[in-house]
């Protein structure tokens, strides 16, 4: 069965199971936890006896509203839920967040990188980077690498591997990254006249998959299980920025075949509980699945290495010495 047909089959005929994993005594961090899939995943984890839950959000007031909602619907002690500010589009914010977590917590058992944006217009961040690439790719992996030392030390304390999960998407199979034709992919993506900007979200999700696969090669799965997942098309706030005909198409598909936010969130929780068989792997409908054909191709392998090399330079400029965190 082809990748797209398999994705459609999972969307229509597979219902992810309700999470039952016991998170007792564990510290779990969810980035993008105040709305949508992140909020519902946080609610599941609170319900499952988590020791401490950290909601990583861009706006304090929205984070506090999410915290009150989680506390009131699950009965978790409000002292067991913290709100911390992080904006993945800002390197400064990501670094500050990582420093805060490392100062406050001796161990972290699971880190879920869920925050992404769906860009339809070209805009840049304070760092001068196109917003979608900055958030979905650079900020996501900057935080992942900053947190790796704490994750490894947490594994040593618990005597078992901890989890680092990235919320990707099946749409990584909808593109083959047109910018790969350029000598420097990230530079091409930062040009205002980039080709087919409507493809940008798909491109960033493909980049997440490729970079996560490359990073996983250097991460010891006995200490940190790194995986990436597809929640499938869900009713969430991700598409709130769509306009015009694009909005009509997206909302129509969500209405016809979209999973509820709660059902989709089950896949996020699953990624934080599955074993080492998921390391460096793509998860869909709570199973290890093959990613899109381009990812597995010889050309995909070449692009994967190019992306990692380019991103490594970017991350080193943002935080000198960060690559040493991988070892």
Whether residue 106 contacts residue 100, with contact meaning beta carbons closer than 8 Å, is answered with no
> Is 201 annotated as catalytic?
yes
Whether residue 45 contacts residue 14, with contact meaning beta carbons closer than 8 Å, is answered with no
Number of H helices, E strands in the chain: 12, 8
Q: Which of 181, 205, 223, 255 is catalytic?
A: 205
Q: Which of 180, 201, 254, 276 is catalytic?
A: 201
Question: Which structure tokens are listed for 128?
Answer: 């001068």
Instruction: Give the chain's end-to-end CA distance (angstroms, integer).
Output: 38
User: 155 exposed, middle or buried (CB, 10 Å; 0-12, 13-18, 19+)?
Assistant: buried
Q: How many Å separate Cα 166 from the centre of its chain?
A: 3
Nearest to 141 by CA among 104, 81, 186: 186
Q: How many Å separate Cα 289 from the centre of its chain?
A: 17
d(CA 102, CA 206): 30
> Is 255 annotated as catalytic?
no
d(CA 66, CA 52): 15
Question: Which structure tokens are listed for 244?
Answer: 């015009």
Whether residue 16 contacts residue 267, with contact meaning beta carbons closer than 8 Å, is answered with yes
Question: Which structure tokens are listed for 95?
Answer: 């670094």
Whether residue 304 contacts residue 207, with contact meaning beta carbons closer than 8 Å, is answered with no
d(CA 189, CA 319): 21
The residues that are catalytic are: 201, 205
């Amino acid at each position: 069965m082809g990748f797209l047909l398999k994705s459609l089959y999972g969307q229509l005929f597979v219902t992810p199971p309700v999470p039952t994993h016991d998170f007792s005594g564990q510290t779990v961090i969810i980035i993008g936890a105040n709305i949508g899939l992140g909020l519902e995943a946080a609610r599941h984890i609170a319900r499952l006896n988590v020791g401490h839950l950290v909601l990583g959000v861009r706006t304090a007031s929205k984070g506090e509203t999410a915290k009150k909602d989680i506390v009131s619907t699950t009965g978790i002690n409000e002292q067991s839920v913290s709100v911390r500010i992080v904006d993945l589009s800002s390197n400064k914010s990501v670094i500050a967040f990582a420093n805060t977590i490392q100062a406050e917590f001796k161990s972290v058992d699971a880190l879920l990188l869920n925050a992404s944006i769906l860009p339809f217009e070209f805009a840049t961040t304070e760092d001068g980077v196109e917003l979608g690439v900055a958030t979905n790719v650079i900020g996501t992996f900057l935080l992942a690498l900053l947190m790796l030392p704490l994750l490894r030390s947490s594994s040593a304390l618990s005597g078992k591997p901890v989890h680092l999960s990235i919320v990707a998407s099946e749409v990584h199979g909808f593109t083959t990254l047109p910018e790969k034709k350029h000598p420097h992919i990230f530079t091409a993506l930062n040009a205002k006249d980039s080709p087919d900007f409507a493809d940008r979200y798909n491109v960033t999700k493909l980049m997440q998959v490729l970079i996560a696969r490359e990073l996983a090669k250097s991460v010891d799965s006995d200490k940190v299980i790194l995986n990436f997942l597809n929640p499938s098309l869900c009713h969430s706030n991700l598409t709130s920025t769509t306009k015009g005909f694009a909005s009509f198409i997206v909302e129509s598909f969500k209405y016809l075949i979209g999973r509820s936010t709660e059902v989709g969130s089950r896949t996020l929780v699953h990624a934080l509980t599955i074993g080492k068989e998921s390391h460096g792997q793509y998860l869909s409908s709570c199973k290890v699945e093959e990613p899109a054909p381009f990812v597995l191709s010889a050309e995909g392998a070449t692009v994967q290495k190019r992306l990692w090399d380019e991103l490594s330079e970017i991350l080193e400029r943002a935080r000198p010495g960060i690559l040493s965190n991988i070892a």
